[in-house]
Structure 1
Amino acid sequence: MSLLRRKSHSPTSADDSGAPHPKGTGSISTVSGARHAGILGIGAYRPRRVVDNHEICQVLDSNDEWIRERSGIITRHFAGDGESVVDMSEAAARDAIAMAGIDPEQIGCIIVATVSHPYQTPAAAPLVAIRIGADTAAAFDISAACAGYCHGITLASDMVRSGTAEYALVIGVERLSDFTDPTDRGTAFIFADGAGAAVIGPTESEGIGPTIWGSDGNNWDAIAQRDSWIDVRDQDLGWPAIVMQGQTVFRWAVWGMAPVAQRALDAAGVTVADLDAFIPHQANMRIIDAMAKQLKLPADVAIARDIETSGNTSAASVPLATERLLREGLAPRGGLALQLGFGAGLSYAAQVIRLP
């Protein structure tokens, strides 16, 4: 006798029409989380190898003065041989966990934001989970490029508030030196390597404001991998690099992101006068200065300019810049900061946070 036929003879309730009622008529149980969420710890990892503009120009047709003027970059960090995205993530995560004062076993979810993990699968996050001792945590990667970390903060804070996880770990990490064409004048001097991490958990008062995020897929090719993996395979194109339409990105960032930042301030119910720090994606010093001017930031607001010595580390740039502001005492512990990520996609995300 078929399964379908057996089911037709199983006991069930029915209305006057003879149609069966569903068996489960009760409500689905839910869990509740923390009333408020915030960043409890920040960690960072910068590779030991420091690369100055003169070394970049040994291959690139440029010079130190031109690079400084165009980007504000003096030095950047490149990962060493065998130093992987997972290695850098682990180092940053351990520092964040130590600052947060929790045990790794308490972490319920790990989110790794990256575009440079060299494996399509498995993701980097489950490997990080094992490394740090959060063996059973949910773990996955997200690809939102330079906005990835701020996207991850949003996902993690929502998890903590909903009860999906008591604590969540967000990591922004890149090894962009693997995906940079050293002869490309538009990108060779910009991209760099590093990792930053944050632990999100319950707090007594709100520590993460509403996120203003979105995307502009019409300009997807403004920052993109030059060739798809299929093209690389079928056309023997060699290793693909990331390319960028510099002027397009500059205009979009300068004129499009300041309004997004203002909307994040409005959503959080604060003004620029309430801020202790502004932490934008470290894309270009001129972009950072232009946005600060548009937002009319007061002189006492610390502005992250980590790009000068760290370069553009994409998803890692916001947490790396945050860690430096705190470590060097340029922003107060517990102060308010506006963070903003933007990049390939074109994707963006901004939120007001309370510094750990």
Structure 2
Amino acid sequence: MRIPDASPGAKVLAFGHYQPANIVTNDDLAKTMETNDEWIQSRVGIKERRIALEGESEVDMAVQAGGKAIAASGLAATEIDLVIVATCTPESTIPNVAGRVAHRLGIGAPGAFDVNAACAGFCYALATASAAVRGGSARNVLVVGTEKLSQWLDWTDRATAVIFADGAGAAVVGPAETPGIGPVVWGSAGDKSDAISIKDRNSFLTQEGQTVFRWATTALHPVAREACERAGVDPSELAAFVPHQANLRIIQAIARKIGADNAIVADDIVLAGNTSAASIPLALSRMIERGEVQSGELALLLGFGAGLTYAGQVIEIP
């Protein structure tokens, strides 16, 4: 038995992102529920968020982000042979999102599947893409995180409606002579699975905010440090720390504990809200676009959320 076309390494070739045009501010939310700008910013750090326009789906957003990532990679759509979409908010479970995204982007007959690890989904999908390239199962992979959380929210519930938002981020993964995506450190805390949930198809998303906050601020910094250790990288070498954009207080707490003193810490949540599986690629793509990080530098990604699931890896910035 042999493994054809295997690659010694895999790397991210490019990122792309998409945000809906509809901006919802804290003052907008204060008109429909008991809240205000100061209350929201002091608890989660959000000033505004993007919400999908009427008729705009998670597939539409994924196509926009994925198309930008492919264009930036220099590849043709026909050179992509696997599409992985991370999402926990599809409008329907069949057909999957990945196959529809691939078709609309002109990617012919790729492998196509969805991953639901909620807010950790992009890191799970990225690790799977890296393994597929290194194992010879795929040559070039499109990985997309896309979420339309707005369709699963009770817009009178300030515990959730002030936090979650819509958007998409994408990356193209291809072969490399040396690894550009480090080993993933992943896991779950199923005993806390009820902390973030949607009970059934007729229910809204609910969240036990304090449970999630305590877990995230105590359990995740060792995961981040282990991801660095497995990649052979000292946290001081990181140019960026890009955690899931869950809550600004959680982001700041984890950042203080991992020792990445030289890294820029992504704070996309302030203007984008919590976009679940889309948040990491969306935040890093925007950092690259603004010139805050440079090609060849190292970034630590750390996803965590409903499940409760978590995953982290170090990547080389394209």
Q: Which residue of 1 aligns with 2:239?
A: 276
Conservation of the 8 A alpha-carbon contact between 2:3 and 2:135 = no
Conservation of the 8 A alpha-carbon contact between 1:147 and 1:349 = yes
Q: Which residue of 2 aligns with 1:297?
A: 260
Q: Which residue of 2 aligns with 1:232?
A: none
Conservation of the 8 A alpha-carbon contact between 1:115 and 1:143 = yes
Q: In the alignment, which of 203, 215, 228 is matched to residue 200 of structure 2?
A: 228
- 1:95 paired to 2:68: yes
Shift of 1:56: 1.3
Conservation of the 8 A alpha-carbon contact between 2:243 and 2:266 = yes
Shift of 1:183: 1.5
Q: In the alignment, which of 49, 53, 57 is matched to residue 80 of structure 1?
A: 53
Cα distance in structure 1, aligned partners of 2:289 and 2:75: 20
Cα distance in structure 1, aligned partners of 2:234 and 2:2: 40
- 1:175 paired to 2:171: no
Q: Which amino acid aligns with 1:77?
A: R
Provide TM-score, normalisation by structure 2: 0.98
Q: In the alignment, which of 217, 220, 233 is matched to residue 254 of structure 1?
A: 217
Q: Which residue of 1 aligns with 2:87?
A: 114
SS in structure 2 at match of 1:353: strand
Cα distance in structure 2, aligned partners of 1:185 and 1:84: 23
Shift of 1:29: 4.7
Conservation of the 8 A alpha-carbon contact between 1:116 and 1:174 = yes
Runs of 4+ aligned residues of structure 1 deviating over 4 Å after TM superposition are: none
Conservation of the 8 A alpha-carbon contact between 1:60 and 1:188 = no
- 1:265 paired to 2:228: yes
SS in structure 2 at match of 1:186: helix
Q: Which residue of 2 aligns with 1:156?
A: 129
- 1:326 paired to 2:298: no
- 1:215 paired to 2:188: yes
Q: Which amino acid aligns with 2:55?
A: G
- 1:125 paired to 2:98: yes
Q: Which residue of 2 aligns with 1:311?
A: 273
SS in structure 1 at match of 2:144: strand
Cα distance in structure 1, aligned partners of 2:108 and 2:259: 46
Q: In the alignment, which of 167, 179, 185 is matched to residue 206 of structure 1?
A: 179
Cα distance in structure 2, aligned partners of 1:32 and 1:202: 10
Cα distance in structure 1, aligned partners of 2:49 and 2:61: 15
Q: Which amino acid aligns with 1:78?
A: I
- 1:31 paired to 2:10: no
Cα distance in structure 1, aligned partners of 2:177 and 2:298: 15
Cα distance in structure 2, aligned partners of 1:115 and 1:122: 14
Cα distance in structure 2, aligned partners of 1:71 and 1:303: 16
Cα distance in structure 1, aligned partners of 2:50 and 2:200: 27
Which ranges in structure 1 are unaligned for 5 or more consecutive residues? 1-27, 230-238
Cα distance in structure 1, aligned partners of 2:203 and 2:108: 33
SS in structure 2 at match of 1:187: helix
Shift of 1:57: 1.6
- 1:42 paired to 2:15: yes
Max Rg structure: 1
1:156-198 Cα offsets, whole Å, 9 max, x none, are 0000001100000100000001011112121110000000000
Alignment root-mean-square deviation, CA: 0.9
Q: Which residue of 1 aligns with 2:311?
A: 349
Shift of 1:216: 0.8
Conservation of the 8 A alpha-carbon contact between 2:298 and 2:315 = yes
Q: Which residue of 2 aligns with 1:145?
A: 118
Conservation of the 8 A alpha-carbon contact between 2:298 and 2:316 = yes
Cα distance in structure 2, aligned partners of 1:32 and 1:216: 37
Conservation of the 8 A alpha-carbon contact between 1:197 and 1:319 = yes
Conservation of the 8 A alpha-carbon contact between 2:236 and 2:259 = no
Conservation of the 8 A alpha-carbon contact between 1:210 and 1:267 = yes
Aligned length: 318
Cα distance in structure 1, aligned partners of 2:67 and 2:292: 23
Q: Which amino acid aligns with 2:236?
A: A
Cα distance in structure 2, aligned partners of 1:353 and 1:344: 24
Cα distance in structure 2, aligned partners of 1:257 and 1:81: 36
